[in-house]
Structure 1
Amino acid sequence: MRVGWDGVVTADTVTDVFEEHRSVLLGVAYRMLGRVADAEDVVQDAWLRWSGGDRSAVREPRAYLVRVTTRLAVDRLRRIKARGETYVGPWLPEPYVTDFGDTVPDTAERAVLADSVSLAVLVVLESLSPLERAVFVLREAFGCPYAEIAAMLDRGEPAVRRLAGRARRHVEERRPRYDVDPALRRDLTERFLAAASGGDMAALMELLAPDVRLVGDSGGKSRAPLRVLESADHVGRFLLGVARKEAQDLTVHVLELNAGPALLVLSGGRPDSVVQLGIADGRVQAVYVIRNPDKLRSLPAVP
């Protein structure tokens, strides 16, 4: 831990140490919860414990802060599940702005982090228990040793290994296999936008896989399908119908969300919806549409 010239941990140093690890803590909390606002609340609680607690015995601030954040996220996830709230229509994670920049220079490590924050994987993680989710996130996304995870969760290492194996099998069985190549995803996203906004059904059908699925998340607070749409014909007609009715009032920007290109749709300059594609074998296998206004508040303003 960095200290002042006289060996005293100053307030500025306490803040600097926390800010140095904030992005990692937010990444852990978001992958645990799938909600940006909840993740930010957890990180704020971790800050309060860090700034107001006894740090004299802390030798590894990063490990300590990740441990605190993980436990807070597990507790919050348990409360969410205990409430048993009924969600109106399909549920999707809250879109999360991702830009790893130069903080993750290794290509393989970048791919792992990107995969762990994708919409498709987060949907699967939602079905894990809080402990399984914590172990999976810490092990698969951040590469934490089993012994370290066991200490974070107050569990024995054999139990943590069993949780990890169970979670990994569950995710491998259920997550779709989408292409993660950024250039391909960007190209198909832009072609998809051109076809949909231009009302070109033929071009759209060339992009959509025959068994494509459209998942719309409105939370009952805006207009979106309350059931998953299936087949290229149904999805294509729905998209063109929306474009014909509302295109004159909308503007669209391409930005990176959940480690991939996404369409941010603005109405009157305010976020109206987010559209992201699941792509495999050069075609669109899934269309994710997020229209719940509560999930769009954290998105950046786009001129």
Structure 2
Amino acid sequence: MVEQDWIGARFAEHQDRLHAVAYRMLGSRGEAEDAVQEAWLRVSRADTDQVENPGGWLTTIVARVCLNMLEARRNRREESAGALPAEPQASVRPPGQDGPEAEALLADSVGVALTVVLDQLAPAERLAFVLHDVFAVSFAEIGTIIDRSPTAARQIASRARRRVQGAADASDAARSAKREIVEAFLAAARGGDFAALLDLLAPDAVVGDLRGGQEVATFFTGRAQGARLALVDGVPAAVWSHLGRPKAVITFTVDSDKITHIDVNTDLDRIQDIDIIVLPADKERR
């Protein structure tokens, strides 16, 4: 009973980190919950006499559970040739890491770009990259989880890091261009500039039941007064808030520098699960 109490206390102490590891590894809140629950079942049956570092031991168990889930997911994809939908990601600061390199990595680790490329990595690559670069787990520990030497684990993480960085670099230009388009749209809407709105919209633009650039431009002319430029799951968008709480998220689909679709999401349950960073407007940045 005393041992079970000790295990329960250590698990509760590290539970937030374990959830963060599982969430970043799997990219799904539901799967992360399942992984942590499975880890608890394993922990509750384990012999803890030789455990000297409870946090590292628990992280290893969760990581192994996640690795099994990633491998099973990959097998299902190969069988069905389908793709799992990505869910919103939240930024996690690796404990004990500071400085420009860590900050740059964390900036790259937020949003859709990382989610997409992580889903393309092999399970061992994803585990090595996430555990080392995001959670500062040593290559020696990672090697024991994936049954490789520390040197091999380092090489695997390095290969994954190059792919992640490449995806981030490729997405930077697209994000920058989209940000300018969204910012211009908001400015034109607030200023009542119908002609500017029409120029930003594709002829067949869609917003809800509205069809066509003319109809959409007419609707937004003079509107969006309280909307602010934001990153929504890492992608330029707009957010309308009331008393400091987001009440509506406006996302834009852009093709060939024209807005083809605008979606206005007012579902508060969904909004609270979205990663939102309000950005300064162009005049505020100067």
With normalisation by structure 2, the TM-score equals: 0.62
In 1, are the aligned partners of 2:110 and 2:234 still within 8 Å (CA)? Answer: yes
Instruction: Give the corresponding residue for 1:237.
Output: 205
Q: Which residue matches 2:273?
A: 299
Superposition map of 1:32-47 within 5 A? 32-47=25-40
Q: Give the 3-state SS of the residue equivalent to 2:273 in structure 1.
A: coil
1:67 aligns with 2:60: yes
* CA distance in structure 2 between the partners assigned to 1:87 and 1:264 by the alignment: 32
Is the partner of 2:21 in helix, strand or coil?
A: helix
CA 1:113–1:47: 2 relative to 1, 3 Å: farther
Aligned mate of 1:131, from 105, 124, 135: 124
Taking the TM superposition and a 5 Å limit, the aligned residue runs for 1:136-285 are 136-175=129-168, 176=170, 178=172, 191=183, 194=186, 233-234=201-202, 237-238=205-206, 241=210, 275=251
Contact 1:113–1:142 at 8 Å: present in 2 too? no
State whether residues 36 and 298 of structure 1, in contact with CA within 8 Å, keep that contact through their aligned partners in structure 2. Answer: no
Which protein has greater RCO, CA pairs closer than 8 Å, 6+ apart?
1
Larger radius of gyration: 2
Structure 2: gaps spanning 5 or more residues: 221-226, 241-246, 275-286
Tell me the amino acid that sits aligned with residue 122 of structure 2. Answer: S
Shift of 1:258: 5.0
In the alignment, what sits opposite 2:280? none
C-alpha separation between the residues in 2 aligned to 1:288 and 1:14? 50
**1:112 equivalent in structure 2:** 105
Matches within 5 A, 1:12-31: 13-31=6-24
The DSSP-based 3-state class of the residue aligned with 1:237 is strand
Shift of 1:22: 2.1
Mapped to 1, the partners of 2:76 and 2:112 lie a distance apart of 23
Instruction: Check conservation: 2:112, 2:235, Cα contact below 8 A.
Output: no
Cα displacement string for residues 89-117 of structure 1 (whole angstroms, at most 9, x for unaligned residues): xx6521145586xx789465455334324
1:122-163 Cα offsets, whole Å, 9 max, x none, are: 111111111111111112212222212112222112321221
Instruction: Find the aligned partners of 1:146 and 1:51 in 2 and give their Cα distance.
Output: 27
* 3-state SS, counterpart of residue 137 of structure 2: coil
User: Percent identity at matched positions?
Assistant: 30
- Determine which of 72, 75, 79 is the counterpart of 1:79: 72
Q: CA deviation at 1:33?
A: 1.7
Aligned length: 245
How far does residue 37 in structure 1 lie from its aligned partner after superposition? 0.9
1:82 positional shift: 0.9
CA distance in 1, matches of 2:181, 2:105: 22
User: Structure 2 counterpart of 1:237, which letter?
Assistant: A
Give the AA of the match of 2:109: S
Q: Which amino acid aligns with 1:174?
A: A
CA RMSD of aligned residues (A): 5.1
Which whole-Å deviations, capped at 9, do the CAs of 1:167-224 have from their partners, x for residues lacking one? 1222222333549xxxx9xx98995784698686666699xxxxxxxxxxxxxxxxxx
Q: CA deviation at 1:239?
A: 5.5
In the alignment, the residues of structure 2 paired with residue 104 and residue 263 of structure 1 have an alpha-carbon distance, to the nearest angstrom, of: 34
Q: Which amino acid aligns with 1:48?
A: L
- Aligned position for 1:49: 42
Letter of the aligned partner of 2:75 in structure 1?
A
CA distance, structure 1, for counterparts of residue 205 and residue 61 of structure 2: 48
What letter matches 2:32 in structure 1? A
Q: 1:238 to 1:79 in 2, by over 3 A?
A: same
Using the alignment, how far apart are the partners of 2:219 and 2:233 within structure 1? 26
Cα distance between partner residues in 2 of 1:50 and 1:172: 35
Equivalent pair of 1:104/1:110 in contact (CA under 8 Å): no
Of residues 107-116 and 169-178 in structure 1, the stretch that sits farther from structure 2 once superposed is 107-116
